[in-house]
Amino acid sequence: IELAARLARKLNEMADTLVEVKIGALIMDPNTNSPIVVLKGVDAETVLPIWVGAFEANAIALEIEKIVPQRPMTHDLLRNLIVECGLRPSRVIVTDLLENTFYALIELFNENDELVSMDARPSDAIALALRLDCPIYVQQKVIDLSAASQGDAGASEDEALQPGEEWPDLIG
């Protein structure tokens, strides 16, 4: 019970610093040929690029395009498991950025309305959020850390991602 109380306090603290985002684009990094999910603020000019794996990018793209595979993919299976176990989706939160690695939580409510939080990679959490139709949030500190790390990378002003800058919209 003490752990649950501490988690509840932590989630309440986070609520003040959360920025709701949506998927603004799914693009390829021309330098590394790696997929990037670009999250854009719903009510703010926040832009957060997250480099993801090819399989996760494909899972996100399939759901965005509403393409139904012949057999359930891993994220579809997890969605079905969540629904069949009686859990209700609450939200996904990108919670941290440590050593160039993003972290996320998937928050669900059980049949007793108790919060169940699961650690996840943001790419998996985003793919699941799309399938569960739940909102995606990013902690403000993650946005700040990402902006600082992009500045530290030595990119010129033209190459650095600026808030509100237009990304190619490849997802329709």
| Residuewise pLDDT in 10s, the chain (172 residues) | 676 666 666 666 655 589 999 999 999 999 999 999 999 999 988 999 999 999 999 999 999 999 999 999 999 999 999 999 999 999 999 999 999 999 999 999 999 999 999 999 999 999 999 999 999 999 999 999 988 877 654 333 333 343 444 444 444 4
Task: Tell me if 90 sits within 8 A of 137, measured CB to CB.
Answer: no
Output the six-digit token pair for 125: 């959490």
Q: How far lies 116's CA from each of 4, 81, 123, 136, 162, in Å?
A: 10, 14, 19, 16, 35
Rounded Cα distance, 24 and 42, in Å = 10
Rounded Cα gap, residues 62 and 131, in angstroms: 10
- What pTM was estimated for this model as a whole? 0.79
